[in-house]
Chain A
């Protein structure tokens, strides 16, 4: 009987010790997160066909092509991929529009352009004001694709 009692007490103590050692590491793992994470908010460079570099000014009525990388299985966000400045002397409303997309499996990609300040595709800028333009590309996971080049034709219209 004494041996049985001893066995149970030591088993409970062992379990407690395991919890005491594994618990904190498990808590750290839980806080840090487990499992793969979809990449969000990673600022990457956008290559511009006409000028190159990561930031290029757009003008109203201008049609521009930019080439970016699509990361399959991830959501890539290009912050301030482009910029727009109101070079007039009065406040103006602007709208950004994607005219065309070319690349691999573009119909499966979700592409969104928005002004960095308000997250919308329209904005009002005061004279001399500049705003960045963000580009989001979400592409589902594909076995045979990791990253491909996607070209966007886009335009800024003045309202």
Chain B
């Protein structure tokens, strides 16, 4: 029997995969245009200053897009999670015909796992690139701190969910 969890994870992984690559390419296009350079996907062909600049900010843009996506999911997890959504919020959403915003644990946790995985992989990549002096060190350190914070927020929500289920 095919695992529903795997299918769900694959389903949730498609959007961030596309968004991540699109963000990186868009970032490179904007930055190379800003520097007056020809668009290239081989950033190592650029001189060191341009390489670091384009790499740093295009990576920041990609990371930022994932952070925005994950923030949206975590906001849903904290305020619109079906297992503990406040009655007043449910009433307000029903008035506005937006009850689809409220979502289930099954949906949320699969989404968070996928987006958080991307976040950790990007952080690892930035750490390596910082070691190779391909990006500014502040990006590597900043991404690590931010990823840890978001992981903490997820763990906190997961613990709350476990407590609710125990009751």
Contacts and interface: CB of A to CB of B under 8 A. Distances in A.
B42 to A, nearest CB: 8
B118 interface: yes
Interface in A20-79: 20-25, 27-29, 31-37, 39-43
B144 to A, nearest CB: 15
Interface in B118-138: 118, 121-122, 125, 128-129, 132-135
A101 B73 CA distance: 62
A6 interface: yes
Contact of A10 (B2, B28, B48, B50): B2
Contacts of B47: 40-42
Given A10-B3, A13-B3, A20-B13, A31 B125 contact: no
Contacts of B121: 21-22, 25
Contacts of B55: 32-33
Interface residues of A, number: 29
B31 interface: no
B71 interface: no
Contacts, number: 97
B17 A21 contact: yes
Contacts of A39: 48
Given A27-B21, A31-B41, A20 B14 contact: yes
Contact of A14 (B1, B6, B41, B49): B6
Interface in B1-56: 1-3, 6-7, 9-10, 13-14, 16-17, 20-21, 24-25, 28, 41-44, 47-51, 55
Contacts of A10: 2-3, 6
A109 to B, nearest CB: 19
B113 to A, nearest CB: 10
B48 A24 contact: no
Counting from the closest, the 10 A-B pairs by CB-CB distance are A41-B47, A33-B44, A25-B121, A13-B6, A24-B20, A20-B13, A24-B17, A39-B48, A36-B132, A32-B55
Interface of B: 1-3, 6-7, 9-10, 13-14, 16-17, 20-21, 24-25, 28, 41-44, 47-51, 55, 58-59, 62, 114, 117-118, 121-122, 125, 128-129, 132-135
Interface of A: 2, 6, 9-10, 13-14, 16-17, 20-25, 27-29, 31-37, 39-43
Given A27-B24, A37-B133, A41-B48, 7 more contacts: A13-B2, A21-B121, A24-B17, A24-B118, A32-B129, A39-B48, A41-B47
